[in-house]
Structure 1
Amino acid sequence: MATPQFVCANWSADNTGCKKFGKYTCKGCHLVVYCGSDCQKSHWALHKIDCKSPLGNETWRPSWALENRKPAFLETGNRNIIPSFADEKRLWGNIPAIDVLKLESNEGVDYGKQIDLLFAVSGDLRNVVKTIAQVPASYNKLIVVTINDDDLDVMARNVIILLIALVSDNIDEAVDCIIHVWYSALIRKSDLDMIQQKILPLVQGICEKVKDKDSHSLLGKTWRFGKRSLRLVLQKSQWARLLTYMKTPEGLTAERASRIRTAVTLAESKKDSLDRHLVFQSPARRIAKHRFRQDGLLLPFGAPRHEFQEPNPTLFNVTDSWPMNECADPLHGWSLKDVEDSSSGPATADIYGKLFNHIRTTLRAFLIRLSDSQMAFRLFCMGFGEIYTILECNTFNRIEVSNVADNLLAGIHHTASAMGPLLQCPRANPHATLITLFRNAITETMTMQDRMMDMYTRRPETKLIREYISHIGAKSFHHPLLDHRPLMWTYAQANVAAYDPIFDRFMENFRFSQVDKLFGLVMKEKHTVIEKWPFRLKLRYDQPGALEELISLNNEIVFAKERYVEWRRRYM
């Protein structure tokens, strides 16, 4: 794919502005590009609002420090410094996407059989997109992708995005349409036309045919697009609701939709939570994050925005609410390193420009792979405790279940019981793998003694943490609760700790050793899909680059406590 070009920031809604590509950047913020000095001077009256924002100052401090008070998250009864997102609607991923197949290093590029993938608790499509995008070009057999999520808000968006991918004739137009349907609060008329002219009629036809069926009856429809197909199985009542995700609620304008959204993303009552996420960011990144909270458009910082006048019906399913929490961010669903390695042209600090380009590149690879492959998608909207009852045993090369094996959710025994029989046995495929993620295990298992030892034991890593605090520039305040440093220390300490002994204790507490005897699943000692601790520091505290690695890790919402476990079926 050609090196991306970014439009000069001196554009105008009436099309009288510059339409050239940018060759230079603003040296004050490195967030926008210009074709030359004339456009930069012409645009300064607008750009200086962002470029000179207090968020861009090295001396910026969160509101609780400026107002000389405790942050809300340290008030009595709310002592969790590291935030929890357990109870909120997640329409975007909150942990980086993974390729669940890794075909080249597992079955091999010459694998001559059909591939079956199961995303049993899928969330959004990031893992599906990344996996298919990275299937080697030499593989030419059928790929069957089974996707399930029990939240219709999630599944409806997945259906719409996949149908856009399947019906579109122009890959580049489809890529940009999908990006905005997936991540932007407002979309272009062309995006809404795609949904309402190409996708809506497909669903309307089914709803008309099944209108006399019982509301709880399970009904399936298969659409075929050459060598590709999509089968959707929903209850009759869900088919009817699916239509609502393709129509803008009556009376909902772009202005009203923006007010509804910013009432959440810029809520005064949530300012401490919002500021907490900015404490660790560079000045330019704070400005960029604030811009996204303001307009909700996934675009390069200086890109034209005047076409985005339609509320995204897949996000504004009802007229009076924004479905996600105030800190929901597309950045959380993708590897920050991959994003930072992507181009944003001369505007080297434009993190959302980099994200836009990274997702665009990944989606383009996904659509190209889709266009010349035998591909069958099967989508369900069922509970985790139901989906396994309608799927065939000994079928899947990979099964990915997000963090449903966490003890607070289904737990490992129920997960193994439900998913184990669906996994291919070693005779059929020795590389078949069930992928489980444990996000809460360490926090649940850590005792007060563990925390005290972690806090007060003088470890070599302490020097690295001190360097990190100094580098970020956290200054002391007279009142200890107003000091940045304990907050930063908590995050940094959580990311340098080694949690293997605590996870061993967790496995013992919840009888992981019985999973083999009861369900015939064996933990893989050597992982072949995803590292056991993918967000743990790779460098030792005293190695060159360790400080930069810790800074990058603290910029992400994930922590070193995230633990993957891979499983295979017992040989038999």
Structure 2
Amino acid sequence: MTTNMKALLSNLDKSLSALSSTNDKKSILLAFLDKLEQDSKQPLKFLYPSSNTPKTNPNVEDTINRKALEDLIARHGLQQEMFEVERKRFGQTRLKFGTPMPPPLGRLSCANQNTSKSRFCLNDGTMSCSGCLLVRYCSKEFYLSEETDVVEDCRNTLRSPSWSPAWVREKRTPKFVNENSDGAPPGMPQGTPSIFGMGLIFPMLDGGNIPAIDIINAVDNEGIADIRNRDISLAFVASGDLRNMVRTINGLPGDYSGTIKIVLNDFSPVVVCRNLMMLSILGIVEDVEEAAEHALHLWYSIFQPLSYDPRVFPPILESKILRNLNGTPVQLTPSTTMCTTFSSNTTAFLLDRLQPKDRDPPVANNALNKIMNAPERTRIGGMAFYGLVLPFGAINAHMAIPNPWLFTHDDRLMLNDSAHPFDGWDFDEMFNAGKAHGTTEEDLIGCLFFYVKDQLVEFSKRLRRFKVQIYASDKDARQLPKTLKSHPAFPQSFDRIEVSNITDKNYVGMSVLSDWGPLLNKTNPHAAIIGLFMNWHLWKKSANYLSSSVGFNDAMKRMSACPSAGFSPTNPFPPDRKVTEMMKTVTLFHDTSKSFEDYLKDEKEDDISSKAGLQSRRINRIVPHRCFAKLGTKHSELPVIDSPERWYKVQAPSLRPTGFEGHHVLNEVDEFFGEGAVDVPCSELIESFTSTELLDLDLLVRSDGANCFKIREKVTQSRLQLLESASSCGECLQNDYYHK
């Protein structure tokens, strides 16, 4: 620590120690921070980060200074008061103004937009563009106009049926594949897919692994009549984002009159802080339409609306939600309370993210283009080009505030090039919502926008109408039961416990059943633990369709026999890009139910479940055993593909470029679910086969000497290729790194 900073902190410590009033301490701290920022060559954001902020400043002295200041604030118990300090500091800063916020988008608007000429048509679009089918116009005159923002996109050569990637035309290995691996199937490029981008937080802050699920599903369990007046307790012990919570609350009857208690927990500071911000927006902003759009953009878009600073941020800072992170219940809405218990590290992280950032839009746009639109990885799609979840032809000039939840302090985008929110939602419902709001099925982002907005609007209304008690925390899932037990006011038993994929052995494993089984509501025969086995195939080679010629041939026969898939049995390996497409989707036709049963036996699931008073269901009653499969069918049943439209929706998630965890697909739709019997407290065990390749784990040593597990990918049985170097492990917060 520099001598000057040491003296400053020493004087601050003495001043704070001499005071007994919290308000007096806040005043002293505010004055100190203001003077510190005025005298410093660096903005405050570098002086007071959280312990989880990426370490981008090479100055060791600055790091020591930051830690000393953070410790001093915590020692005097002023972390909670820092939110009030930041609110006052924010009020002293000049707000940014620009293009006014357009009204909330209820219908697809006319695509007659020209930002450079400030021409924006607010009429509904009724005439589809015959060229791209992505946008609609309100009149023939505008349709024939050459001065709209979307003309260039409409005529893009990427849309041509004859377009092929450069690696196909030039007959070479694509740059997104590492060339030093061999043994790929005939016609397939050699090597393993590479990761492009930082991917520090994906999928935690993006699409997720499987579509959102209603973990109650009253229709197939308690029944609508019974659930309508029943008090319910739910636990999302490794929640990730809010989509399962939103989907579950929205799945209740509209006239539900019971009380819902929800434990919303995740060990990641960035996840719980962002969830808290979204809940605050949805509960505090009065206009539910506006609240839903702001929450949606904070969730998914690279840029936020300009109206966020003057209309959304101040009321959130002024609310009691952010100033009571020590377990004190506060009102989120007249009918919903929040009880938040965050650690000092998480509180510091939240404070850091709430501080004003001086990131210019062009800087953020360059960071986006470096990942999403790199020349060697060009692809088409509104999300890829612009990073905005909006209909393709919608007004977007007001989207100009870089989303602080998606950038590091040195302006790097914290996503991989495969990051996409599609995987977190049901495709059928998404398309239906788009159609209801006037968009086209071709505009996938537009459909997604309207669907997610509808979900958030309804969720926001229900937070204001239903009696909801939310208990938000950042605890380790294994320790959370003890935390709940030590707080009698917290829920002590649950009707549903959703544990995400911590059932994977590289996380908590089957012991999660021992930890949480005793907390199931024994008076409810439908109570269940719901878990996702996302990585089980790492330890079961037979799960891969390439593991045996029999399994491969069976899967190929099923795919060739499916008329909607469009692959000819007489020419299984055509010499074009369809080979890659086919190999990415063949897992849809691969039955892994026997392999998963063997895996559960290897993990002694029966013994562990029995000791915890649980029993595994053999036929699901809450969520399908596999994405796109029918609920209530055997685990050997494959996804239903009965039309070309269904095929398009089923295989669409698997055809995006390479990305997270080295998958050829972002999130394969091969996910398998198993659940327990209804006559006893039960475990609902969800399995998912998420990759067309077989993955192995390797023990690596970080630069600081700590051990961690790193996923490696095996395209064939003979050759392994590391996806990234060990030095990129960072804080081991990604899904593909695990502390030993």
TM > 0.5: yes
2:646 is the counterpart of 1:549: yes
Q: Which residue of 2 aligns with 1:51?
A: 154
Counterpart contact for 1:23–1:346, Cα < 8 Å: no
Deviation of residue 570 (structure 1)?
A: 7.8
Select the residue among 503, 508, 514 that pairs with 1:410.
508
Partner of 2:114 in structure 1?
12
Amino acid at match of 2:493: T
Corresponding position of 2:733: none
Q: Deviations over 1:227-260 (max 9, x none)?
A: 21111111123223212223342x3111111111
SS in 2 for 1:418: helix
Which residue does 1:173 correspond to in 2?
A: 290
1:151 aligns with 2:271: no
Aligned pairs (5 A) from 1:128-527:
128-202=245-319, 206=323, 219-224=326-331, 225-249=333-357, 251-268=358-375, 271=377, 287=380, 289=381, 291-316=382-407, 318-344=409-435, 345=438, 347-392=440-485, 395-412=493-510, 414-425=511-522, 428-442=523-537, 444-447=539-542, 450-457=547-554, 460-464=557-561, 468-470=565-567, 476-477=574-575, 483-527=576-620
More RCO (CA 8 Å, sep 6+): 1
Check conservation: 2:361, 2:400, Cα contact below 8 A.
yes
| Corresponding residue for residue 213 of structure 2 | 98
Distance 2:452 2:234 in 1: 22
Q: 1:480 maps to which residue?
A: none
Q: CA deviation at 1:302?
A: 0.1
Q: Which residue among 223, 236, 261 is the counterpart of 1:108?
A: 223
1:53-89 CA deviation, whole Å, 9 max, x = no partner? 1221112222321332113435224845699999853
The CA distance in 1 between the partners of 2:247 and 2:555, in whole Å, is: 41
The 10-residue stretch of structure 1 (499-508 or 530-539) with the greater mean CA deviation from structure 2: 530-539
RMSD, matched Cα: 3.3
**Change over 3 Å in CA distance of 1:105–1:470 after alignment to 2:** closer
Task: Give distance in 2, aligned partners of 1:534 and 1:144.
Answer: 28
Secondary structure at 2:466 match in 1: coil
Kindly provide the amino acid, as one letter, of the partner of residue 213 in structure 2: I
Give the corresponding residue for 2:35: none
**Secondary structure, counterpart of 2:470 in structure 1:** strand
* Partner Cα distance (1:332, 1:57) in 2: 26
Change (3 A) 1:307 1:518: same
Taking the aligned partners of 1:466 and 1:87, their CA distance within structure 2 comes to 40
The residue number in structure 2 matching 1:565 is: 674
CA spacing shift, 1:57–1:203, aligned 2, 3 Å: farther
Look up the equivalent residue of 2:672 and give its one-letter code. Answer: R
Query: One-letter code of the match for 1:395?
Result: S
Q: Which amino acid aligns with 2:560?
A: K
What amino acid sits opposite 2:526 in the alignment? Answer: H
Give the 3 Å change call, closer, same or farther, for CA 542–327 of structure 1 in structure 2.
Answer: closer
> How far is 1:157 from its partner?
0.8
Residues 53 and 464 of structure 1, relative CA distance in 2, 3 Å threshold: farther
Cα 1:507/1:458, change in 2 over 3 Å: closer
CA displacement at 1:378 relative to structure 2: 1.0
Deviations 1:337-377 (A, max 9, x none): 22122224254411111111111111122122222111111
- Aligned residue in 2 for 1:73: 177
The 1:396–1:79 alpha-carbon spacing in structure 2 relative to 1, beyond 3 Å, is farther
Please report how far the alpha carbon of residue 408 of structure 1 lies from its aligned counterpart in structure 2 after TM superposition. Answer: 2.3
Distance 1:204 1:543 in 2: 45
Q: Which runs of 5+ in 1 are unaligned?
A: 208-217, 276-286, 478-482
**Equivalent position SS for 1:367:** helix
Aligned letter for 1:496?
F
Question: CA 1:452/1:138 → structure 2, altered by over 3 Å: closer, same or farther?
Answer: same
CA distance in 2 between partners of 1:541 and 1:373 (Å): 38
Question: Does the CA-based 8 Å contact 2:321-2:330 persist in structure 1?
Answer: no
Q: Distance in 1 between matches of 2:164 and 2:462?
A: 47
Task: Name the CA shift for 1:474/1:297 in 2 (closer, same or farther; >3 Å).
Answer: farther
The aligned residue for residue 143 of structure 2 is: 40
Measured after TM superposition, the shift of residue 541 of structure 1 is 9.8
Q: Could you say which residue in structure 1 is the equivalent of 2:55?
A: none
**Partners of 2:403 and 2:640 in 1: CA distance:** 47
Moved more, 101-110 or 76-85: 76-85
What letter is aligned with 1:417? S
Verify the 8 A CA contact 1:98 1:131 in the aligned structure 2: yes
Q: For residues 116 and 205 of structure 1, what CA distance do their matches in structure 2 show?
A: 24
Identify, as 1 or 2, the structure richer in helix: 1
CA distance in 2, matches of 1:469, 1:142: 50
Equivalent residue of 1:143, what SS?
strand
Offset of residue 537 of structure 1: 8.4
1:503–1:333 distance in 2 versus 1, CA, 3 Å: same
CA distance in 2 between partners of 1:341 and 1:80 (Å)? 37
Checking the alignment, whether the CA contact within 8 Å between 1:248 and 1:317 is kept in structure 2 is no
Q: What's the secondary structure of 2:531's corresponding residue? A: strand
Segment drifting more, 172-181 vs 543-552: 543-552
Structure 2 CA distance for aligned equivalents of residues 253 and 221 of structure 1: 37
Quote the Cα distance in structure 2 between the aligned partners of 1:458 and 1:373: 47
- Match of 1:211? none
Deviation at 1:113, TM superposition (A): 3.3
In structure 2, relative to structure 1, the CA distance for the partners of 1:568 and 1:148 (3 Å cut) is: farther
User: Structure 2-normalised TM-score?
Assistant: 0.67
Which residue of the other structure, out of 22, 41, 44, is the alignment partner of 2:125? 22
State the AA in 2 paired with 1:397. D
Q: Which letter does structure 1 place at the counterpart of 2:670?
A: K
- For residues 249-284 of structure 1, give each alpha carbon's deviation from its aligned partner in whole angstroms, at most 9, with x where no partner exists: 2x3111111111221222346x2xx76xxxxxxxxx
Distance 2:497 2:398 in 1: 40
- The 1:42/1:459 distance shift into structure 2, 3 A limit, reads closer
**Residue 44 of structure 1, CA deviation:** 5.2
Question: What is the TM-score with the length of structure 1 in the denominator?
Answer: 0.85
Question: Matched residues, percent identical?
Answer: 24
Letter in 2 for 1:325: N
Q: CA deviation at 1:546?
A: 4.8
Q: Which amino acid aligns with 1:105?
A: D
Secondary structure class of the residue paired with 2:151: helix
> CA distance change for structure 1 residues 74 and 341 in 2, over 3 Å: closer, same or farther?
farther
What residue is the counterpart of 1:31 in the other structure?
A: 134
Whether the aligned pair in 1 keeps the contact of 2:406 and 2:415 (CA below 8 Å) is no
Residue 404 of structure 1 aligns to which amino acid in structure 2? I
Alpha-carbon distance in 1 for matches of 2:640, 2:340: 51
Q: Which has the larger radius of gyration?
A: 2
Asked whether the 8 Å contact 2:113–2:149 carries over to 1, the reply is no
SS of 2:471's equivalent?
strand
Cα distance in 2, alignment partners of residues 516 and 378 from structure 1: 27
Give the 3-state SS of the residue equivalent to 1:562 in structure 2: strand
| 3-state SS in 2 of match to 1:155 | helix
Query: 2:198 aligned with 1:89, yes or no?
Result: no
